[in-house]
């Protein structure tokens, strides 16, 4: 009876771990989408009153030369975070297996007495 309960608990733990990992990935995807969102420039009041303004008369767009570097820095940090979480998840799985094996050995040892 205890063996089934431990088996069900480990299945629940696996399911909750997968849900947690899915939630983390959804949050990461949501944050990365907002990081790449750009706001539309608002027209100046004078341009809005006059109507159409040719492109040559508007102010030049701001250009950030470091944009690719910032993008790759964020990508590297997110990738490192994902790898870290995945490795911790696998390590915890191994620890749970080892703990289950120790519990089995203890039950087998105490059952023979």
Q: Which residue has the tokens 């120790």?
A: 102
- Say if pTM beats, i.e. exceeds, 0.85: no
List the domain boundaries for the chain: 2-111
Low-confidence ranges of the chain (pLDDT < 50): 1-4
**DSSP H helical ranges for 38-66:** 45-50
Quote the pLDDT of residue 15.
72
Both tokens of residue 34? Answer: 């907002």
Q: What is the pLDDT of residue 37?
A: 61
- What confidence score (pLDDT) does residue 82 get? 96
- C-beta neighbour count of 93 within 10 angstroms: 14
pLDDT value at residue 30: 72
d(C-alpha 6, C-alpha 96), whole Å: 11
């Amino acid at each position: 009876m205890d063996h089934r309960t431990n088996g069900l608990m480990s299945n629940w733990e696996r399911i909750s771990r997968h849900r947690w990992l899915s939630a983390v990935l959804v949050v990461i995807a949501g944050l990365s989408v907002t990081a790449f969102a750009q706001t539309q420039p608002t027209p100046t009041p004078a341009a809005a009153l006059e109507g159409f303004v040719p492109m040559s008369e508007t102010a030049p767009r701001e250009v950030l030369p470091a944009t690719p570097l910032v993008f790759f820095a964020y990508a590297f940090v997110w990738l490192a975070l994902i790898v870290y979480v995945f490795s911790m998840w696998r390590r915890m799985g191994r620890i749970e297996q080892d703990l289950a094996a120790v519990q089995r050995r203890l039950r087998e040892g105490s059952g023979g007495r």
